[in-house]
């Protein structure tokens, strides 16, 4: 994906004449952004991580090793759901229960903590065909767009990307062997909801000389860019205007 992005930007003239772009990532996008700023340092003029902090390239995310650390820091095993998503046939369960997955995925942090992230909780919720209260910011248009995106291909393709990184750890050894730069050269902003109970403890500032943090007060959950969109856009505009 990183090579594809770099090639596309080059084809439209954004990888020549010292041009660069502002890059923003949330969730899996934050992990992709972490690789981009390490592999293609001249590409990013600045970068913004939302909810999920910077993860250095070439570092294997070991769920078993992280389990006690997450339980101590957050009080629960944050990545327990990956034990389901890393199974090669998990897409079938997700495809068969799209509405239940949507309602749980865009519910409150408290429901995510109890019904999504613990080992076995997501699978149990889907097999029981549970439906959960949606957050107030979730509009019918948002649901329609989500359905359209997964209507033809379902979740299989998305989960293959997921499994390749978190299940098979493809590319990790190669990244480590490349000796990619761990420090971020461009200005960095890390943004989370002020009350986000799923936010991962981070020491991102040690990886960046130009680092800023923003706690979005109008958002209380994981989907900060959706719930606190107006405040997020204001913070983004102020940050990008300085870079």
Which stretches of the chain drop beneath a pLDDT of 50?
Answer: none
Q: Is domain 2-60+172-241 classified as CATH 3.40.50.300?
A: no
Q: What is the largest CA-CA distance in the chain?
A: 56
What is the structure's pLDDT at 230? Answer: 97
Q: Secondary structure of 194-240 in the HEC alphabet?
A: CCCCCCCCCCHHHHECCEEEEEECCCCCCCHHHHCHHHHHHHHHHHH
Token pair 């002020």: residue: 194
Report CA torsion sign: 201, 207, 209, 211: negative
What is the structure's pLDDT at 10? Answer: 80
H helical segments located in the chain: 2-11, 28-39, 63-74, 82-85, 90-96, 98-105, 109-115, 121-127, 140-151, 156-162, 172-178, 224-227, 229-241
CA angle, residues 17, 184, 19, in degrees to nearest 5? 10
For the chain, domain boundaries: 2-60+172-241, 64-167
What is the structure's pLDDT at 19? Answer: 66
**Residues near 98 by beta carbon (within 8 Å), at least 6 away in sequence:** 147, 150
What is the structure's pLDDT at 59? Answer: 84
The rounded Cα 14 to chain-centroid distance in angstroms is 25
């Amino acid at each position: 994906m990183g090579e594809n992005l770099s090639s596309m930007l080059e084809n439209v003239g954004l990888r020549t004449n010292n041009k660069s772009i502002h890059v923003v990532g949330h969730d899996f996008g934050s992990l992709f952004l972490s690789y981009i700023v390490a592999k293609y340092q001249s590409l990013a003029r600045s970068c913004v991580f939302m909810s999920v902090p910077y993860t250095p390239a070439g570092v294997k995310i070991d769920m078993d090793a992280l389990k006690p650390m997450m339980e101590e820091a957050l009080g629960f095993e944050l990545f327990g759901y990956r034990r389901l998503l890393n199974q090669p046939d998990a897409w079938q369960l997700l495809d068969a229960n799209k509405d239940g997955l949507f309602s749980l995925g865009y519910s409150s942090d408290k429901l995510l903590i109890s019904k999504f992230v613990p080992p076995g909780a997501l699978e149990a919720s889907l097999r029981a065909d549970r439906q959960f209260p949606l957050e107030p910011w979730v509009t019918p248009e948002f649901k329609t767009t989500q359905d359209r995106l997964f209507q033809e291909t379902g979740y299989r393709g998305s989960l293959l990307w997921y499994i390749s990184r978190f299940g098979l750890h493809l590319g990790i050894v190669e990244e480590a062997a490349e000796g990619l730069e761990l420090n971020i050269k461009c200005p960095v902003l890390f943004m989370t909801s002020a009350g986000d109970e799923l936010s991962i403890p981070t020491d991102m500032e040690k990886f960046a000389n130009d680092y800023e943090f923003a706690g979005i007060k109008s958002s209380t959950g994981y989907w900060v860019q959706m719930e606190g969109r107006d405040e997020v856009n204001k913070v983004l505009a102020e940050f990008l205007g300085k870079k």
